[in-house]
């Protein structure tokens, strides 16, 4: 794998370490962190900093009943932590966990492009995209934030080239036409919190069907 050039922005890394990042984005960050030594170290640094803040917080007195209840919970038997899901092919462990250990169930979007929706809800959606080499995604902009992590192949747009492990951050100011580079299909993990804004009529008409 070539060197990773495009990383997760620092505010999103801090939110991920604090556990406050919405689930769709957290999945993309977790997958990227599993592939990127530099960002894994950044997350660890944020976690250490958070622990220091907790240690330095002013301590308040605790009632004896509450203390006894907490100690009882600590003594109660707990289920062992499940084993982390391992990487499979191009899919990092966090993605395989979202897939429940099974291969993606692809659905056609037309022109050879396919998607597999992993999760969707009030906080946004996250999906896998499979784009044949040389194929373009229709020109679009964004109503919110989009994080796109490359798992296989690469794509290029107006902002540059993104290879395996790279993350593109798209917001309301970005209008682009991503094109999968020649070679193996580009497989991406993409999270959004709002529908995309397509410029062409047909993608707009199909948008409710494809939930993108």
CA distance 190 to 125: 8
pLDDT at residue number 92 = 97
pLDDT at residue number 124 = 94
pLDDT at residue number 200 = 85
CA distance 41 to 189: 22
CATH class of the domain whose range is 1-212? mainly beta
pLDDT at residue number 54 = 46
- DSSP secondary structure letter of residue 157: E
pLDDT tens digits in sequence order for the chain, 212 residues long: 568 999 999 999 999 999 999 999 999 999 999 999 999 999 999 988 765 544 555 555 656 666 566 556 556 665 555 567 889 999 999 999 999 999 999 999 988 999 999 999 999 999 999 999 999 999 999 999 999 999 999 999 999 999 999 999 999 999 999 999 999 999 999 999 998 889 888 788 777 877 88
Domain boundaries, the chain: 1-212
- Look up the pTM and report it: 0.83
Could you tell me how far CA 142 lies from the centroid of its own chain? 17
Angstrom distances, CA of residue 44 to CA of 17, 33, 41, 92, 104: 8, 10, 5, 19, 30
Instruction: Provide long-range contacts, Cβ within 8 A and 24+ apart, for 31-36.
Output: 31/92, 31/94, 31/95, 31/149, 31/151, 31/189, 32/7, 32/8, 32/149, 32/165, 32/167, 33/8, 34/87, 34/92, 34/93, 34/94, 35/1, 35/4, 35/92, 35/164, 35/165, 36/4, 36/7, 36/165
pLDDT at residue number 86 = 85
């Amino acid at each position: 794998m070539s060197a990773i050039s495009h990383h997760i922005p620092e505010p999103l890394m801090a939110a991920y370490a604090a556990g406050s990042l919405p689930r769709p984005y957290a999945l993309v960050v977790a997958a990227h962190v599993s592939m990127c030594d530099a960002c894994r170290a950044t997350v660890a640094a944020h976690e250490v900093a958070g622990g220091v803040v907790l240690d330095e917080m002013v301590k308040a007195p605790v009632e004896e009943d509450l203390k006894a209840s907490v100690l009882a919970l600590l003594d109660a038997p707990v289920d062992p932590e499940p084993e982390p899901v391992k990487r499979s092919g191009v899919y990092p462990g966090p993605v395989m966990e979202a897939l429940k250990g099974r291969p993606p169930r692809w659905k056609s979007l037309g022109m050879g492009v396919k998607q597999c929706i992993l999760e969707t809800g009030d906080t946004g959606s996250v999906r896998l995209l499979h784009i044949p080499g040389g194929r373009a995604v229709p020109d679009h902009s964004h109503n919110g934030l989009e994080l796109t992590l490359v798992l296989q192949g690469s794509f290029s747009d107006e902002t540059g080239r993104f290879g395996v492990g790279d993350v593109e951050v798209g917001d309301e100011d970005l209008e682009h036409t991503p094109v999968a580079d020649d070679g193996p299909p580009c497989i991406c993990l993409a999270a959004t919190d709002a529908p995309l804004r397509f410029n062409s009529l047909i993608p707009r008409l199909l948008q409710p069907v494809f939930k993108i």
